Amino acid sequence: MPTEATASALVKRLSRLVDPFILAILATVGVAAVLPATGLAATIASHATTIVIGLLFFLYGARLSTATAWEGLKHWRLHSVVLASTFVLFPLLGMAAQVLVPGVLSPQLYAGVLFLCVLPSTVQSSIAFTSIAGGNVAAAITSASLSNLVGVVVSPLLVGIFLSASGGFSASSIPDIALQLLVPFVIGQLSRRWTADFVQKHNKILMLVDRGSILLVVYTAFSAGVAAHIWQRLSGWQLGALLAVDVVLLALVLAITNFSAKLLKFSREDRITIVFCGSKKSLATGLPMANVLFAAHGVGLIVLPLMLFHQIQLMACAVLARRYAAWAGSSDEAAGQEQTDAFHPTHR
């Protein structure tokens, strides 16, 4: 019979193998599959997502000192690497995937993969994961926001080049980005006199908003796919092949951004920011952009690779963020032990 200590050790071991946040994401996907938000509920969920993201950026603004924010804005080398990954590396990998047509990917699914590759980075999840992992949050805010502002113009142009699609972009995206991201951040900065101490002392609130915003985005995005019956339009083999392509694409970008950041001798915090901001693709930007750029009857399959990639990147980066945080904790512990040994040489 296993003892209580043995059972406790087993639970701890399982918690290391299975990230609780991954379980939360999977549970959220399950809820969306059974009870998707449709009609009025979808509208409420969308507004709730906007509010939570606004609150997230307000808290980041309240937590970050103005000097730190300016340092993030001036970090041009980091922003250049993130933009190169988003708008150069991803499209090149997307073009290379053409060898999979038609054996693995149908022409329409391949068009969806290319569309995925030209989109800007996510904002809320990139910054949330950067924060959880202990990266450079100020630079992440600037880099992710800059990616979206650039993507409003560059992504439709790349769609036109790679997919020969007619159309343009919606200029309303620019004020939307400013209102949802930059304005709450600026208000948070201006409120620091009254809120900075509270936010610093109650860091768990920030983590709750970080993770809650990601779960809400997962629910609303997956609900949209279920409501549109996208999953019923593919065979199991096609869906499995598309999943494999998305996984390989993400793995390649994660590996290349991590290697490049080390090669360019960025600090640990900056490497984390580059990996998380340079490996994401924005569902929130991609879905409305697809509605503008493509015929209505073809949008469903065009955005399917993006929807799958979005879920995969959230799950993979949740694991990565936790590991980065754990590694940082181990390093701090080791440094503290070395300092203790230095003062107590008899313990050696």
pLDDT digits (tens, 9 = 90+) for 248-307: 999 999 999 999 999 999 999 999 999 999 999 987 777 767 766 765 545 667 878 888
* Domain-embedded: residue 332: no
pLDDT digits (tens, 9 = 90+) for 96-136: 999 998 888 888 889 889 999 999 998 778 888 998 888 98
Going by the DSSP 8-state scheme, the letter that residue 64 receives in this structure is S
pLDDT for 276 equals 94
* Domain-embedded: residue 149: yes
Determine the Cα angle at 151 with ends 72 and 65, to 5°: 20
> Is the model more confident about 60 or about 116?
116
pLDDT for 298 equals 55
Domain of 216 in residue numbering reads as 41-323
**Spatial CA neighbour of 273 closest among 210, 329, 321:** 321
Query: Per-residue b/e over 36-57, b at no fewer than 16 CB within 10 Å?
Result: bbeeeeeeebbeebeebbbbbb
**Spatial CA neighbour of 269 closest among 148, 146, 132, 147:** 132
* Domain-embedded: residue 144: yes
Residue 204 has pLDDT above 60, yes or no: yes
Confidence of residue 347 (pLDDT cuts 50, 70, 90): very low
Q: How many residues does the chain have?
A: 348
* Domain-embedded: residue 52: yes
**Spatial CA neighbour of 73 closest among 141, 2, 154, 4:** 141
pLDDT for 167 equals 42
Q: Are 105 and 242 in contact (CB under 8 A)?
A: yes
% residues pLDDT > 70 (the chain)? 74
Exposed/middle/buried for residue 230 (C-beta within 10 Å: 0-12, 13-18, 19+):
middle
Both tokens assigned to 164: 């020969």
Going by the DSSP 8-state scheme, the letter that residue 99 receives in this structure is G
Query: Per-residue b/e over 111-149, b at no fewer than 16 CB within 10 Å?
Result: bbbbbbbbbbbbbbbbbbbbbbbbbbbbbbbbbbbbbbb
> Is the model more confident about 175 or about 127?
127
> Is the model more confident about 340 or about 34?
34
Average pLDDT, integer, range 189-194: 84
CA distance 194 to 270: 29
Query: Per-residue b/e over 69-94, b at no fewer than 16 CB within 10 Å?
Result: beebeebeebbebbbebbbebbbebb
Confidence of residue 165 (pLDDT cuts 50, 70, 90): very low
Residue 328 has pLDDT above 70, yes or no: no
pLDDT for 168 equals 42
- Helix ranges restricted to H, the chain: 4-17, 20-34, 40-63, 66-73, 76-84, 90-96, 107-117, 124-133, 137-163, 173-177, 183-190, 192-201, 203-227, 236-263, 268-278, 283-293, 299-343
Residue 214 has pLDDT above 80, yes or no: no
pLDDT for 153 equals 77
> Is the model more confident about 188 or about 90?
90
pLDDT for 278 equals 94
pLDDT for 95 equals 93
Candidate from 30-34, 241-245, 275-279, 292-296 with smallest mean pLDDT: 292-296
CA distance 290 to 156: 9
pLDDT for 20 equals 73
Confidence of residue 170 (pLDDT cuts 50, 70, 90): very low
Average pLDDT, integer, range 227-238: 75
- What is the average pLDDT score of the chain? 77
* Domain-embedded: residue 301: yes
* Domain-embedded: residue 339: no
3-state secondary structure of 75: coil
How many structural domains are present in the chain? 1
> Is the model more confident about 67 or about 8?
67
**Spatial CA neighbour of 213 closest among 58, 327, 64, 323:** 58
* Domain-embedded: residue 224: yes
* Domain-embedded: residue 140: yes
Confidence of residue 244 (pLDDT cuts 50, 70, 90): very high
Going by the DSSP 8-state scheme, the letter that residue 122 receives in this structure is P
Residue 90 has pLDDT above 90, yes or no: yes
Residue 324 has pLDDT above 90, yes or no: no
Looking up residue 62, the CATH number of its domain turns out to be: 1.20.1530.20
CA distance 41 to 30: 17
What lies within 8 Å, CB to CB, of 252 at 6+ separation is 93
CA distance 272 to 293: 33
